[in-house]
Amino acid sequence: MSGNSFGKIFTLTTFGESHGPAIGGIVDGCPPGLELCEEDMQVDLDRRKPGTSRYTTARREDDAVKILSGVFEGRTTGTSIGLLIQNTDQRSGDYANIKDRFRPGHADYTYTQKYGSRDYRGGGRSSARETAVRVAAGAIAKKYLKQAHGIEIHGFLSQLGPIKIEQVDYAEINNNPFFCPDVSKLDALDEYMRDLKKQGDSIGAKVTVVATNMPVGLGEPVFDRLDADIAHAMMGINAVKGVEMGDGFGVVEQKGSEHRDPLTPQGFASNHSGGVLGGISSGQDLLVSMALKPTSSISVPGETIDVDGNSIEVVTKGRHDPCVGIRAVPIAEAMLALTLMDHLLRHRAQNTGVNCTTPVIPAQVK
Amino acid sequence: MSGNSFGKIFTLTTFGESHGPAIGGIVDGCPPGLELCEEDMQVDLDRRKPGTSRYTTARREDDAVKILSGVFEGRTTGTSIGLLIQNTDQRSGDYANIKDRFRPGHADYTYTQKYGSRDYRGGGRSSARETAVRVAAGAIAKKYLKQAHGIEIHGFLSQLGPIKIEQVDYAEINNNPFFCPDVSKLDALDEYMRDLKKQGDSIGAKVTVVATNMPVGLGEPVFDRLDADIAHAMMGINAVKGVEMGDGFGVVEQKGSEHRDPLTPQGFASNHSGGVLGGISSGQDLLVSMALKPTSSISVPGETIDVDGNSIEVVTKGRHDPCVGIRAVPIAEAMLALTLMDHLLRHRAQNTGVNCTTPVIPAQVK
Amino acid sequence: MSGNSFGKIFTLTTFGESHGPAIGGIVDGCPPGLELCEEDMQVDLDRRKPGTSRYTTARREDDAVKILSGVFEGRTTGTSIGLLIQNTDQRSGDYANIKDRFRPGHADYTYTQKYGSRDYRGGGRSSARETAVRVAAGAIAKKYLKQAHGIEIHGFLSQLGPIKIEQVDYAEINNNPFFCPDVSKLDALDEYMRDLKKQGDSIGAKVTVVATNMPVGLGEPVFDRLDADIAHAMMGINAVKGVEMGDGFGVVEQKGSEHRDPLTPQGFASNHSGGVLGGISSGQDLLVSMALKPTSSISVPGETIDVDGNSIEVVTKGRHDPCVGIRAVPIAEAMLALTLMDHLLRHRAQNTGVNCTTPVIPAQVK
Amino acid sequence: MSGNSFGKIFTLTTFGESHGPAIGGIVDGCPPGLELCEEDMQVDLDRRKPGTSRYTTARREDDAVKILSGVFEGRTTGTSIGLLIQNTDQRSGDYANIKDRFRPGHADYTYTQKYGSRDYRGGGRSSARETAVRVAAGAIAKKYLKQAHGIEIHGFLSQLGPIKIEQVDYAEINNNPFFCPDVSKLDALDEYMRDLKKQGDSIGAKVTVVATNMPVGLGEPVFDRLDADIAHAMMGINAVKGVEMGDGFGVVEQKGSEHRDPLTPQGFASNHSGGVLGGISSGQDLLVSMALKPTSSISVPGETIDVDGNSIEVVTKGRHDPCVGIRAVPIAEAMLALTLMDHLLRHRAQNTGVNCTTPVIPAQVK
């Protein structure tokens, strides 16, 4: 039972490989009447697309998305939305040399064992190329969430290797190629990345996504809690190895008297929980963080085996990101948007008479 | 669309509140022919059940599970398995005083906002009481996984507040009330918990679950990767605020040359990945960790509001665990077992002809 | 992937065998705030239950349903509703003789082949005993549909063997043991059934279910059309071999000019379609019919084989309905109610802003 | 929750409108290793495509399908298969006149009421144009079923208006434009259709689909019985108003002694059941029939209303089939293939150890 669909009510199903003719997807369950055009998606696709700075892969893809259905006279019709993105800059020849070997840290070995064979060109289906479709679909969700509830989603780099972001200014995020909200760190990031490139190595990163203007009430206990579904969404992004809500792993050393967020007539007095209580959104900002591993495609030689089990050395060529965490920012935003959209519709299905937008108290003490 | 079902092919659906007459569930999709009796489940239920040590709540529940269907002449029939556990030690009177107030750090506020009202007795559906059913169902999955593939699941406490476990001896886990695999830490844990009790406070914890003898090939990219579904399962456990695979958040500061696990003819030379590559199990041990917040039910007074939005002070009475992380160990094992079982059947559905149990190389260098 | 769940948003999952200790189910996704008690379900359970007339099996079951969760202070809470019905009149001894043989027309052979073994006591899971749970759950859906939209569901016997109902008076349905809406046929039915009993044989039947006061807009093309999901629901009832919407198989000989229902400012001028156009409800009455085969458990000797493939003669003892179509009436009502409930919530999830209850025209010309 | 996906394990999700740029779909869950190319699908697409005889619409579409992913070096990889068919012969201008009116017997009224607006060009999403994608996907299923189990699927016209087919010769089906298996009826069909065309009217039809070489054991009680899922699949085809298994509505007047199929050491002695017992395939031929209404797009004037509720007369122009039942034959085959494929994988998921292909007895007495 292949897992190429995301969501239960607002769903995205995707197809496509890194070096096939095209990638694409189908968004099903979008409410009718939403104004939608290709430019709405292109903005985020351009943020994710490769080849835009020296810190990302040199592969050039326009990532121009086409809407094939589900929109009529500028508005969604409520029927399924077909999305298509042509692949234009495949250089499959780059991959002939990995046909018979398993790159360490990649999915080559596991895909081959699972399916009996694999599309070795650029990782085939396991390539992050596929995430472009998620970004396109996520843009639809973002637009609806903004219009229906004022919900906004802000993703940013919160750490790259040893460099930790200290100040968060949403206005700066899109002004630099790192999606860094702290201008005081830009020089350090630039320098670090130059050094890394010289070494031919790669580095891990931490990415944070915040949703503001959240309604109270999203999340479906006991299994499909909002945070559980967010964890599923984020851990499903290539290279993610950890997910946190609010204080995350910091809670291990916290006491109850310290962790629990007091409710006051003016709103919650703190946000250790990250905006979720009992698996349901509290109206506070959703705070989600994730850890992304360093890409395994580096020019530092590594030890591996060929398909017959013989020991060999591998040096990954091809065009790769030295820090996959950077371009993960718009992907993480998209996955959060898709998750919230699905939960908004799930909530509506069961709770028509309950107005989740008029909470007893304001979300947060200002 | 309520979220009371877990899994896509091997599914568990649960019902029941903390202070209702009973809790229970339905396991659907269990392969026929598995020997199964109530004792198989009772072992794990007894590990989770309250009232067994001074470190857990004083509520006494036998947690005696009854099989109502799906088993005939000692073996599963392939039809749905009905499970029932009577509640016997409800003291709902304890909760009359919280009827009109929202306990901070609890789901009281969010349930009320979502559904328009709530069962305030002991948290109702949001109580961890419900997890007893998960433990019962998880025991079925555990038994099958062991018999069909030799897969074993070991959960343990890896940190409690400031106390970090340093040695892991699976044989010790069930010999102490902390599920602690490191005997050298038992005194420190005992002392810490006594102090905590005096303070009337609670503490966070980190729990680790490991699956050994894993087959290669479980996981369904691109969205239902094995690690993504594990993250969903673990973040869906009460009080969990973070989930990690392998090195988890440690990868943020790692380089690619350091993180990627070399493949050798004798097996993988390291296990930074935690047993998953590209969302598919690699045959190495699955390494999963999670952070659990300190329970918010403490006798330290806290600030909150009543249902009319007025400021009040709350002191939680009732019977509670000072560290919910401890009893989460069998729950985390159960959720991992349910996830693996579902993925094993999902894999089989599509890949009958592919034998995921004969990998090219052994799992790990011994 | 066992199929013991029904519905996508409003779901029912069931368990239980004919001769196990109990049957039951879990209703998930019920809107919060609905007044609900056991008596609401008992009315329909009593209509379905065996042993109430000489035309049905002599097995006596109280079919007393217990609500175990999801209802607090008399109203649904929005969480999962656990339902339990004890089996009280099992006579498993009756079935010892069929342990090693496959009754013709029954599921004995197919269950054994599918699962490798079977619970032979009274058909185990394949017995219609399981449908009692559907009737209980259907009563919840019926109540909600009535309160939220005024939708009412009327099931009745429309043909039994050669006897066709000619007049439909809903008020008569529950006044006779045949669920017959045409009092002029009661004597003929009684006489036919007496003769049948003497012969030790059984007979087929046709059952019709009508939903009135339907909103416009229920149904999810292209695959989950309302009529497609109704067909799934009805064909999933034991013994059903055919399902029709509106004119059903009568359309084969109709012309387009005859079949299409004219729209007029006063409503649709006819209802050949049975209330569905393009898979979406039109606001007209839903007209659903189904054919039920004669039960295969009869005392007329039949030819079959034993589990080793040897030819033998079988005479079915035990206690059985000579016309299973009769007791299928409340089951068919329940399945229609469950289907409509699921579709109502599915519609709401996606179409919040669209008011499906204010159609352009009235449903029907009066 | 839009219903544009079919199947639970082997799934098809589709998009596209009659007059949009393209239609397409994603097949997920296909076993890896199946040889597959576009020609495999084109054969069935050519059987369904319009413009091939004077008995179908004059719209000309090549219906050339492109595989965009999921196939590498001529074999399926186990990942999602993207399918695309360009629309080439849209004449949307034909539909400007129906923009403001609801054609009787069509989905115009219900789509508008459900979604608040509609794509009026050729019926938009409600057009049978969308079924081309089902036929393409069905061809993949057909190929796998044939290779893995020898299962073959034969669809044919069994009645058109008053003309009933009497002999079934599978070899004749594709030799005439009616998919008629009885050559003795071809002249009558031709004459009938000519007369109909003169009248500007349309006619209903009955279509039968048979699957041969069935394995025993497919079907997932109690809700997802094989026959229930077949009913869902067939009733989900445009214009279908009734579905039957085996004797179908004929059972209403049958006695149990007549209906039940005797088991003998040489196989079942008859096939009244249509190959399903208790919702599980018996190994006998699957016999499925469906009734298709006459198309409502005819040149005979009809009564309807405009979008403001005013009475108007409508004469449908555009290009339409006088008997949609004819071209439904390859669609019905495709839907049966998709259903069987999904159930084959569902069965495998749970019943690995059970060999459903070695039944106790042969399927049928020869």
Query: What is the residue-level pLDDT of chain D in tens, covering all 366 positions?
Result: 789 999 999 999 999 999 999 999 999 999 999 999 999 999 999 998 876 677 777 677 789 999 999 999 999 999 999 999 999 877 666 677 788 999 999 999 999 999 998 898 888 999 999 999 999 999 999 999 999 999 999 999 999 999 999 999 999 999 999 999 999 999 999 999 999 999 999 999 999 999 999 999 999 999 999 999 999 999 999 999 999 999 999 999 999 999 999 999 999 999 999 999 999 999 999 999 999 999 998 999 999 999 899 999 988 766 678 999 999 999 999 999 999 999 999 999 998 754 444 667 777 675
Confirm whether B112 is domain-assigned. Answer: yes
Q: What local confidence, expressed as pLDDT, does residue B356 receive?
A: 47
Q: Which residue has the tokens 């041990």?
A: B285
Nearest to B351 among D31, D79, D354 (CB): D31
With 80 as the cut, is the pLDDT of residue C269 above it?
yes
CB count, 10 Å around CB of C318?
18
**Domain CATH number, residue C159:** 3.60.150.10
With 50 as the cut, is the pLDDT of residue B1 above it?
yes
- Integer Cα distance of A112 and A114 in angstroms: 6
With 70 as the cut, is the pLDDT of residue C356 above it?
no
Q: Which residues contact D277 (CB under 8 A, 6 or more apart)?
A: C105, C106, C107, C109, C110
Q: What local confidence, expressed as pLDDT, does residue D89 receive?
A: 75
C52 known ligand binder: no
First to last CA, chain C: 47
Which residue, among B278, B281, B289, B280, has the nearest Cα to B363 in the 3D structure? B281
C77-81, C84-88, D196-200, D361-365: the lowest-pLDDT one = D361-365
A74-78, B11-15, D58-62, D229-233: the lowest-pLDDT one = D58-62
Check residues D29 and C122 and name the one with the higher pLDDT. D29
Nearest to A116 among D4, D32, D125 (CB): D32
Confidence band for B14, pLDDT divided at 50, 70 and 90: very high
CA distance C57 to chain B (A): 23
- Integer Cα distance of B136 and B48 in angstroms: 10
CB contact under 8 A, B221 and A3: yes
Q: How distant is the alpha carbon of residue A335 from its chain centre?
A: 5
Q: How distant is the alpha carbon of residue A10 from its chain centre?
A: 17
| Partners of residue D259 in chain C, C-beta under 8 Å | 105, 204, 293-294, 296
First to last CA, chain D: 47
For the record, the structure tokens of A110 come out as 């596991």
CB contact under 8 A, B349 and D354: no
Q: What local confidence, expressed as pLDDT, does residue B53 receive?
A: 74
Q: How distant is the alpha carbon of residue D176 from its chain centre?
A: 19
Confirm whether C357 is domain-assigned. Answer: no
- Determine contact, residues A282/A276, Cβ cutoff 8 Å: yes
Nearest to C107 among D254, D280, D298 (CB): D280
- Integer Cα distance of D259 and D253 in angstroms: 10
Q: Which residues contact B225 (CB under 8 A, 6 or more apart)?
A: A3, A235, A236, B219, B276, B278, B279, B280
Confirm whether B189 is domain-assigned. Answer: yes
Which residue, among A110, A146, A142, A149, has the nearest Cα to A126 in the 3D structure? A110
Q: Is the model's pTM score more than 0.90?
A: yes
CA distance A356 to chain B (A): 6
Model confidence pLDDT, tens digit, residues C214-223:
999 999 999 9
Model confidence pLDDT, tens digit, residues B109-118:
999 999 998 8
| Partners of residue C234 in chain D, C-beta under 8 Å | 231
CB contact under 8 A, B229 and A232: yes
Which residue, among C151, C288, C276, has the nearest Cα to C209 in the 3D structure? C288
CB count, 10 Å around CB of D231?
33
**Burial (0-12, 13-18, 19+ Cβ within 10 Å), B258:** middle
Using CB atoms, which chains have 3+ pairs under 8 A with B?
Answer: A, C, D
| Partners of residue D8 in chain A, C-beta under 8 Å | 1
Nearest to D204 among C109, C221, C253 (CB): C253
Model confidence pLDDT, tens digit, residues C137-165:
999 999 999 999 999 999 999 999 999 99
Annotated binding-site residue numbers of A for NADP(+)? 48, 54
Residue D81: closest CA among chain A residues belongs to which residue? A15
Confidence band for A51, pLDDT divided at 50, 70 and 90: low
Annotated binding-site residue numbers of D for FMN? 125-127, 238-239, 278, 293-297, 319
Residue D234: closest CA among chain C residues belongs to which residue? C228
| Partners of residue D78 in chain B, C-beta under 8 Å | 350-351
CB contact under 8 A, D345 and B346: no
Model confidence pLDDT, tens digit, residues A203-260:
999 999 999 999 999 999 999 999 999 999 999 999 999 999 999 999 999 999 999 9
B278 known ligand binder: yes
| DSSP bridge pairs for C289 | C208, C244
Q: What local confidence, expressed as pLDDT, does residue A58 receive?
A: 67
Check residues C356 and C15 and name the one with the higher pLDDT. C15
With 60 as the cut, is the pLDDT of residue A353 above it?
no
Q: What local confidence, expressed as pLDDT, does residue D355 receive?
A: 46
User: For helices D324-350 and D226-235, what crossing angle results, to 10°?
Assistant: 150
- Determine contact, residues D109/D2, Cβ cutoff 8 Å: no
Q: Which residues contact B91 (CB under 8 A, 6 or more apart)?
A: B59, B318, B319
Strand (E) positions, D68-131? Answer: 71-72, 75-76, 81-86
| Partners of residue B24 in chain C, C-beta under 8 Å | 24, 68, 82
Q: What local confidence, expressed as pLDDT, does residue C287 receive?
A: 98
Q: How distant is the alpha carbon of residue D355 from its chain centre?
A: 29
Q: What local confidence, expressed as pLDDT, does residue C263 receive?
A: 96
| Partners of residue A22 in chain D, C-beta under 8 Å | 68-69, 82, 84
CA distance C352 to chain A (A): 8
Q: What local confidence, expressed as pLDDT, does residue A362 receive?
A: 77
| Partners of residue D32 in chain B, C-beta under 8 Å | 350-351, 354
CA distance C99 to chain B (A): 13
Q: How distant is the alpha carbon of residue B319 from its chain centre?
A: 21
For the record, the structure tokens of D285 come out as 């031929």
B335-339, C305-309, D30-34, D275-279: the lowest-pLDDT one = C305-309
Q: What local confidence, expressed as pLDDT, does residue A352 receive?
A: 72
Q: Which residues contact C364 (CB under 8 A, 6 or more apart)?
A: C267, C268, C271, C284, C285
Domain span holding position C132: 5-350
B126 known ligand binder: yes
**DSSP state, residue A248:** G
Q: How many Cβ pairs within 8 Å bridge chains B and C?
A: 160
CB contact under 8 A, D117 and A72: yes
CB contact under 8 A, B15 and C349: no
CA distance D20 to chain B (A): 29
With 50 as the cut, is the pLDDT of residue C61 above it?
yes
With 90 as the cut, is the pLDDT of residue B294 above it?
yes
Strands A152-160 and C22-28, by their bridges, are unpaired
- Integer Cα distance of C195 and C180 in angstroms: 19
With 60 as the cut, is the pLDDT of residue C362 above it?
yes
CA atoms within 13 A on the CB side of D19: 18
Quote the Cα angle for C203-C209-C213, to 5°.
170
Q: What local confidence, expressed as pLDDT, does residue A358 receive?
A: 61
CA distance B295 to chain A (A): 6
Nearest to D345 among B79, B221, B349 (CB): B349
Annotated binding-site residue numbers of A for FMN? 125-127, 238-239, 278, 293-297, 319
Residue C9: closest CA among chain A residues belongs to which residue? A349
Side chain identity at C218, as an amino acid letter? Answer: L
Model confidence pLDDT, tens digit, residues B138-192:
999 999 999 999 999 999 999 999 999 999 999 999 999 999 999 999 999 999 9
Quote the Cα angle for A329-A332-A336, to 5°.
140
CB contact under 8 A, A1 and B350: yes
| Partners of residue B9 in chain A, C-beta under 8 Å | 1
B95-123: string of b/e by CB count within 10 Å (b at 16+)? beebeebbbbbbbbbbbbbbbbbbbbbbb
- Integer Cα distance of A110 and B60 in angstroms: 46
| Partners of residue C313 in chain D, C-beta under 8 Å | none
With 80 as the cut, is the pLDDT of residue B352 above it?
no
CB contact under 8 A, C2 and B28: yes
CB contact under 8 A, D348 and B349: yes
Confidence band for A355, pLDDT divided at 50, 70 and 90: very low
Instruction: Give the residue from B157, B222, B292, B298 with the most A CB atoms within 10 Å of its CB, the best one to mutate.
Output: B222
Q: How distant is the alpha carbon of residue B228 from its chain centre?
A: 15
Top mean pLDDT of A118-127, A168-177, D111-120 is at: A168-177
Q: How many Cβ pairs within 8 Å bridge chains B and D?
A: 51
Confidence band for B94, pLDDT divided at 50, 70 and 90: low
Instruction: Give the residue from D10, D253, D286, D355 with the most C CB atoms within 10 Å of its CB, the best one to mutate.
Output: D253
A242-246, A308-312, A357-361, D50-54: the lowest-pLDDT one = A357-361
| Partners of residue A38 in chain D, C-beta under 8 Å | none
Q: What local confidence, expressed as pLDDT, does residue B320 receive?
A: 74
Number of domains in chain B: 1
Report the C-alpha dihedral over residues A344, A349, A352, A354, rounded to 10 degrees. Answer: -50
- Integer Cα distance of C217 and C208 in angstroms: 22
Q: What local confidence, expressed as pLDDT, does residue A356 receive?
A: 47
Confirm whether B50 is domain-assigned. Answer: no
